[in-house]
Structure 1
Amino acid sequence: MHLICVFILMSLIKSLDSTICLAKLVPDQIRLAFAGNQGVSVGWQSFGCPLTTSNPNPTPTVMYGLSKTNLNLTSINGNSSVYDTNNILKTSWFYSVELTNLQPSTVYYYQIKQSNYVSASNIFSFTSAPVYGSRSRAINIITYGDFGVDGIVEDILNGKCLFERALGALQKMLPVTDFFLHHGDICYADDSPEDLFLTYEGAFNYCQSMMTNITSTRFYMTAVGNHEINCTEIPVLNQLCSSSKKNQVPYSHRFNMPSKQSGGYLNSWYSFDYGFVHIISISCESDFPLAPSGNLLDTTTQVNWLKNDLSKVNRTITPWVIVQCHRAWKGSISKADIKEDGIINCPSCKAAFESLLIQYNVDLYLAGHVHWYERICLNGMFL
């Protein structure tokens, strides 16, 4: 009898897949990224209908154009993805599309198109990248690492709403900002006790929703950090972490970096150009000898890709080369936090990457992980 009841219940739940949601679902967590020299990726999240696993928007589409009142262009390469967020009531779906053949330095308006179950988004805008190699104006980049939601301990130590206050400061800088570089540790979606009541997917959803005003109008380019490639920072509680939260699975679904356009891998390593600047993002977490978080592929592919990418940079067109990664490998303060595995932080990162950065005269290396601000002069001499 019990087996029959379970079978009937599962059949009823499955039949809901074809039902209509009681209310239209709303696109959320809207974010922009570069997708080649004349392209932009638009990504977003929406929940599925309650108790169903069906994709509420199987043909994700963005309409865009040069006027709010004339969105006459249509996106390409619509993609849907899903992973187990351990929410039995509603499934999170992640979408991305590409806007291609954009005119340089041009304001575009865009809107996520409605589908049967998902409402249309508001109309947003962005300014496309300048001509490759253009030096007609200065480029303004906001860069930082290790930025995420507050927890109870942080509220006690720093006052309430530290994340929200920092977000407000970023919002004020939007008018003079071309794009963002976030050097890993995005939202702190893990099981840290100080994040009590806002962990895992809850932290990601809250954080990315709050950042939509920024990420829907400016390009938000990320690097993978230790909190993205792993979801826990309490070794004895690793069993709380499901496989869908390890090996940067959420990060791979939630962001859409230009790896495809630059020959990189997932959102782990990639590059892009913006005017006279060439930007490279690499992973300090995986895929090099003795990487802190092991390997998603192997120990050589990323390093070989970096060497190849650097060797192809035309310094007469993009004289500035910037590299971002999560972990610093130099620091002047003698503190246990940065003496992991030796005198310097992440000696394996230094061994894998530093000689290439010096060989190809990289101008600037940006990192997070160590929670203070420090600038170091050419090839490691301290200011």
Structure 2
Amino acid sequence: MAIRLWALCLTLAATNAVPSYYDGYQTVDRPTQPVQMRIAYNGPYGVTVSWNTFQQIQRPTVRFAEEPYFLYRTASSEDSTTYPTSLTYSNHVRLNGLLPDTQYYEQYLIDGSNSSQPLSFRTAKEAGNHEPFTVGVVVDMGTFGPLGLSTATGVGAANPLRPGEHTTIQTLSQQLSELDFVVHPGDLSYADAWLKEEIQRYLPNTSRIDNPTVYEHINNAFYDELVNITSYKPYMVSPGNHEANCDNGGTKDKTNGVTYTEAICPVGQTNFTGFRNRFRMPSGPSGGLENFWYSYDYGMAHFVSIDTETDLGHGLTGPDEGSPEFSGPFGLMNQQLDWLEKDLASVDRRKTPWVVVLGHRPFYNSAGGICTNCSANFEPLFHRYGVDLYFCGHSHVYNRNAPIYNNVTDPRELNNPNSTWYIVNGAAGHYDGLDTLNYPLMPYTRYAQDQDYSFSKLIFHNCSHLTQQAVWSSNGSVYDEATLFKDRDCAKGLWKE
């Protein structure tokens, strides 16, 4: 299959001369050829299959079945969307009525014919299935290579990759067989760093008319890089600030004395436009809202995705006082909070004893960036309904904290605590590099590092033991591990008195 490659010839001349422009990209045999294939759970008996094309498809269609050579079922939709400045169309088809924990094969149809050899995916374990499973967690991970994080940096940038060092995507791909699915709670491609990269002379300067194309090239490069993960494992995303806003708003070019505003931002870079088009998370089955807040069950765990960027409730529209970075709100007053309380209250802890919430911004952290508006509204619900773990990023470090509530560390630590365990790992890697920890570390921090890129694994052993491993992206080794114990009767699915 001829897949479009986003090799954009970005080598800067020693004289810093501006090239005529990016040299474009290779074409596919047919503009409806699928690229950037990805899968997401859609309720207990369904998945959403998504892919991009360079031309709109009137009726996106997928063949699928349990056997690769007899794909006797088909599903179609009319969901082929784009937006001004986008270079592609995003196509989405829901496959319903699937068996739980079952291997399926799918093929994309192009003009009535099969597009390629079948790809495969596995459906979610049914709620109440207490078999062990493992989830990969990446946050704040952008494009790797000439358009993003690489062994070189722009002027004033830091934390380049070391020569020969593996990226997070490479290591995830190598360990994919160990993972049941992957979650990415915010800050995906970092395509909105294009202006910073140009100012720092990492990318060649372009004209205002070309700015949207630069943004979209970086965005598409990221999803091309991810395809060996997203086409085989469900990839569940949450919104982050780099999906929400134009990061270039307020960017300063000190050399030229220019401060840019959001007026320079491409359409796909504002108000979550690209994020809303590219993904279809299971908000429908869970009563949530688009890709912003939703939930789903997998075996013995209930996963909840929240939006820490907009719609915080109680009159708070964003993570900081004032404008939520030119974005939202998307729901009615308190809609997200009301939904979250209803969702958490309805969890059947006999079937899904573990409750994990994924959001972008930290409530507790030793590197700053704490979202006090988020903790004010969400943390009481976490405590009231016994959320076991809140995992986030936004801060580009690794920071494992003790269970804590209202700034008071749980005296039981990880031995059957009453409070939620808070972990930050926003160190997956992107052009901006890593952040810096503040010393002395906060008293609730148990392990932290700001030296190397990493991601995490959540290993659900049984109803009472959950292990979090922090993994070096460079070599795939585990550098920190801790296990949360909850005193539950696994036979009955209940807490012991």
TM-score band, normalised by shorter chain: 0.7 to 0.9
Q: Does the CA contact (< 8 Å) of 1:80 and 1:94 recur in 2?
A: yes
Q: Does the CA contact (< 8 Å) of 2:107 and 2:118 recur in 1?
A: yes
Match of 2:101 in 1: 105
The counterpart of 1:300, out of the listed 327, 330, 334, is: 334
Question: Which is worse superposed, 201-210 or 233-242?
Answer: 233-242
Q: CA deviation at 1:77?
A: 3.9
Q: List gaps (5 residues or longer) in structure 2.
A: 1-26, 154-158, 205-212, 251-259, 410-443, 447-497
Matches within 5 A, 1:100-249: 100-115=96-111, 120-135=115-130, 137-150=131-144, 151=147, 155-156=152-153, 157-159=159-161, 165-190=167-192, 191-194=194-197, 196=203, 199-235=214-250, 236-249=260-273
Partners of 2:339 and 2:163 in 1: CA distance: 40
Matches within 5 A, 1:1-383: 23-25=29-31, 26-48=33-55, 55=56, 57-85=57-85, 91-115=87-111, 120-135=115-130, 137-150=131-144, 151=147, 155-156=152-153, 157-159=159-161, 165-190=167-192, 191-194=194-197, 196=203, 199-235=214-250, 236-288=260-312, 289-292=316-319, 293=324, 295-333=329-367, 338-339=368-369, 345-380=370-405, 381=409, 382=444, 383=446
Partners of 1:265 and 1:66 in 2: CA distance: 31
Q: Does the CA contact (< 8 Å) of 1:279 and 1:323 recur in 2?
A: yes
Q: CA deviation at 1:210?
A: 1.3
Residues 299-356 of structure 1, C-alpha deviation per residue, up to 9 Å, x if partnerless? 41111111111011010110000000000011134xxxx25xxxxx111011111110
What amino acid is aligned across from residue 111 of structure 2 in structure 1?
S
Bigger helix share: 1
Q: CA deviation at 1:164?
A: 6.7
Question: Which is worse superposed, 38-47 or 291-300?
Answer: 291-300
What amino acid is aligned across from residue 68 of structure 2 in structure 1?
K
Determine what percentage of the aligned residue pairs are the same residue.
34
Partners of 1:74 and 1:266 in 2: CA distance: 25
**Aligned pair in 2 of structure 1 residues 276, 149: CA closer, same or farther (>3 Å)?**
same
What amino acid is aligned across from residue 338 of structure 2 in structure 1?
N
Give the TM-score normalised by the residue count of structure 1: 0.83
RMSD of aligned residue pairs (Cα, Å): 2.3
Q: Does the CA contact (< 8 Å) of 2:249 and 2:264 recur in 1?
A: no
Q: Does the CA contact (< 8 Å) of 2:283 and 2:290 recur in 1?
A: yes
What amino acid is aligned across from residue 106 of structure 2 in structure 1?
Y
Residues 276-300 of structure 1, C-alpha deviation per residue, up to 9 Å, x if partnerless? 1100001100011141325233441
Match of 1:8 in 2: none
Partners of 2:246 and 2:160 in 1: CA distance: 24
What amino acid is aligned across from residue 351 of structure 2 in structure 1?
I
Q: CA deviation at 1:189?
A: 1.5
**Aligned pair in 2 of structure 1 residues 375, 94: CA closer, same or farther (>3 Å)?**
same
Residues 127-177 of structure 1, C-alpha deviation per residue, up to 9 Å, x if partnerless? 111222101x21100012000114567533413799972211000111110
Q: CA deviation at 1:241?
A: 0.8
What amino acid is aligned across from residue 167 of structure 2 in structure 1?
R
What amino acid is aligned across from residue 84 of structure 2 in structure 1?
D
Partners of 1:368 and 1:162 in 2: CA distance: 26
Partners of 1:174 and 1:22 in 2: CA distance: 28
Partners of 1:59 and 1:66 in 2: CA distance: 23
What amino acid is aligned across from residue 330 of structure 1 in structure 2?
Y
Match of 2:419 in 1: none
Partners of 1:332 and 1:188 in 2: CA distance: 23
Residues 57-108 of structure 1, C-alpha deviation per residue, up to 9 Å, x if partnerless? 211010011111101111244411111125xxxx521110011111122111
Partners of 1:24 and 1:240 in 2: CA distance: 33
Partners of 1:181 and 1:173 in 2: CA distance: 15
Q: Does the CA contact (< 8 Å) of 2:50 and 2:93 recur in 1?
A: yes
**Aligned pair in 2 of structure 1 residues 264, 161: CA closer, same or farther (>3 Å)?**
farther
**Aligned pair in 2 of structure 1 residues 110, 370: CA closer, same or farther (>3 Å)?**
same
**Aligned pair in 2 of structure 1 residues 121, 95: CA closer, same or farther (>3 Å)?**
farther
Residues 19-60 of structure 1, C-alpha deviation per residue, up to 9 Å, x if partnerless? xx9942211110000000000100010002xxxxxx3x2110
For 1:140, what is the secondary structure of its paired residue? strand
For 2:191, what is the secondary structure of its paired residue? coil
